[in-house]
Amino acid sequence: MNNSCPICSTGDLDQLDIRDAVPILMNRLYSTALEGRAATRGALVLMGCRGCGFVWNAAFNSSLIVYDASYENDQTHSLAFSRHLRDRARDVVAAVPAGDLIDFLEVGCGQGRFIEEVALVAERRLRSVEGFDPAWRGAEGEGPTGGRIHTCYFDTQTAGRLLHAPNVVATRHTIEHVPDPVVFLSALREALGPDSHATVFIETPCVEWILGNAAMQDFFYEHCSLFTADALTEALRRSGFFDVAVDHVFGGQYLWARASTFGRQTTQEITSLKPRPLPKWARQQFTEKWRADLAERTKFGPVALWGAGAKGVNFSLMVDPHASMIDHVIDINPAKQGKYLPGSGVPVVSPLTAATRKASTIYVMNPNYLDEIRTIATNVGIAAEFVPIN
C-alpha cells in the first residue's frame, strides 16, 4: 500500500472506507439473477489525501478488469446527457482557433458517440477525427461520421496510426479507471509527441461533489482514482501539461479540465494544502438511512430504482444486497433491459414493463435526470413517488 498520495506525494492520508467484496464491473449485466450475484468481486480500500483531496482504491487490481465489447455504458439515450455532450463538443471545437481546421483525437472513445457530436458541431472545419478504445465494437479503423476508431489503447506505438497530428484531444471518463493517473497522463503526453500543439480536455467525476452530496453509491471498484480540481491540476502539471484550468460541469458532478501540450511551466502550486475534511465511514450512515427508508416504503407497495448504471448497481448492493426489498430497476438503455444487476441480481426492465409492476416508490439514482424521468414515467403510465438519492 502507498504511504504517500500518488498525485501530490503528501504523506497525510486517511483511510475512508473498506468493503470486502464489491462487483468489479458495474456495467456488465447478466442473463439471470444467479449469474448477477456470482459476478466477480474485489476489495475496496478507499484512501484519501488531505493535501490535494485525491481519493483512490488502494486494493485495486487492474488484472481483474477487462474492457471489451461486452462493456455497456451508453448513457446517451438520456436527453440531459445528450445536452451535456453537445456542450462539451462545443468546448472542443472552440479550443481550435477560428479559421484553423480541426484534427480531433479521443482517447477511450467507447462506441464513438462523442466523436459524432464533435463532428456535428465542427461541420466543415473538421479535417480528421480518430478514436482509440479496446471496447470498440466496429471494424478496426472505421467509425461514425467518416471518423476512424482503433480497437486498442493509444500509446507511442499506436499513435503511428493517426493520419494528422491532433490539435485537440479529449479523454472522457477514462482516468478514473486508471490506478496510476500520472503514469497514464505522462504516457498520453509522450504519445502525442514532442512537437504536439494541442489542447487536451479531461472529463472525470468530481470527488468533492460525491463527498459533499454524500453520494456513497459513487464509490465503486472500477473508479479507482477520484479527483478534486486540485488533484487533477497537479496530475496534469506533473505529467508535462501546461496552462491547466478545471471547470465543474453536469451540475457539478464532473470535472472538465483543459490543458495544453505546449507553453511554459508556471510556478503555481496547489492552492491549499491545509487539511481537508474527509468524512470517514460515511457509507454506514448512508446505508442505514436508506435501508430504513426502503423498509418503510415497501409497506405501501413495490419499490424500484431508476438507473441501472454504476450508481444503481452500487446502491442496490449496499442497501438491499439480497434483493429482498427492491422489486426492479428501470433503465431506458435497451441493451440493459431483460438483464440482471451484478451483485444484488435485481432485474432491469424498460419503463413500459415497469408500468405493469406498479411501484409506489422509485428511487432516482442521479438527480440530473429527474425531469426527463418524470416525463417518461407520465408517458408510459407510471404513477409512483420519485425520490432522488442526492
Is the distance from CB of 239 to CB of 188 less than 8 angstroms?
A: yes
Binding site for Zn ion (CB under 5 A): 5, 7-8, 10, 49, 51-52, 54
Of residues 53 and 343, the one with the C-beta less far from Zn ion = 53
The CB-of-53 to Zn ion minimum distance in angstroms stands at 7
Of residues 17 and 230, the one with the C-beta less far from Zn ion = 230
The CB-of-48 to Zn ion minimum distance in angstroms stands at 9
Of residues 58 and 380, the one with the C-beta less far from Zn ion = 58
Of residues 231 and 259, the one with the C-beta less far from Zn ion = 231
Of residues 49 and 348, the one with the C-beta less far from Zn ion = 49
The amino acid occupying position 390 is N
The CB-of-238 to Zn ion minimum distance in angstroms stands at 11
Q: How far apart are CA 390 and CA 213, in angstroms?
A: 6
Of residues 215 and 231, the one with the C-beta less far from Zn ion = 231
The CB-of-182 to Zn ion minimum distance in angstroms stands at 11
The CB-of-49 to Zn ion minimum distance in angstroms stands at 3
The CB-of-14 to Zn ion minimum distance in angstroms stands at 11
Q: In what order do the strands lie in the sheet with 385-388?
A: 348-349, 326-330, 303-306, 361-364, 385-388
